[in-house]
Amino acid sequence: MRKLQIAENSTIEMMSPELLFLGKSGQPYRGTLYIHFVSAGRTIELPDFKKYITSLRNKVFMAEDISREIYKTLWLHIGIGEGPKTKIGVVVDLTGRGGIQQTISHGEPFTPNRNKNKIFQL
C-alpha cells in the first residue's frame, strides 16, 4: 500500500460494507468494516486500500481475528509509534451466522457511525 503524507492529528474515518473473507470451514463471511484513525503524518492511498480489502475475499481467517488482521496491516503501513503517534481503531460488524451476530474490534476504541451505511442503501 502506498503512503500519503498528511497533516498530523488529522482524523479519518472509513467505512466499507463490502468486507468478505473465508472462515475456517471455508464458509464466506460478510461484514461491514469501520476504521477510525488519527494520523501522525501518514495515510494510505484509497485505491490501494480497496485492493487490500478485495484481496481478503479468498483468504481464511478465524472470524474473531479479522479486525486484528486489518489493524496490523494498517499499522505496518502508516503506523508511527514515536513522537506524534498514530491511533488506529478497527471495528467489523459481521453478518449473522447461526442466528448470532458478532462485532469484532481491535486497537483504539471508538463508536462507529453506523448511519453512514445508509449511503449505500437504495
Partner 1 sequence: MTDEIEYGEKRAEEVVALGSATEYKYEYCPEVLETFENVHPGLDYWVTLNAPEFTSICPKTNQPDFATIIINYIPHIKMVESKSLKLYFFGYINKGEFHEDTINTIRNDLTKLMEPKYLEVIGIFYPRGNISIHPVAYYNNGESKYMELEKYRFQNYKMNNLKAEL
Question: Could you list the residues that contact partner 1 (CB under 8 A)?
Answer: 17-18, 20, 25-28, 30, 54, 57-58, 95, 120, 122
- Nearest CA to 53 out of 105, 121, 1 is that of 1
Cβ proximity to partner 1, 10 vs 45, nearer residue = 45
- The greatest distance separating any two alpha carbons of the chain, rounded to the nearest whole angstrom, comes to 46
Q: Cβ of residue 26: shortest distance to partner 1, in angstroms? A: 4
Decide whether 111 or 121 has the Cβ nearer to partner 1: 121
**Minimum distance from CB of 59 to partner 1 (Å)?**
12
- H/E run at residue 53: helix 46-55
Minimum CB distance to partner 1, residue 64 (Å) = 19
Cα separation, 68 vs 80, whole angstroms: 17
CB of 56 to partner 1, least distance (A): 10
**Cβ closest to partner 1, residue 100 vs residue 122:** 122
Our CB check for partner 1 shows the closer of 9 and 58 to be 58
Tell me phi and psi for residue 48, to 5 degrees: -70, -40
43: burial class by Cβ within 10 Å (0-12, 13-18, 19+)? buried
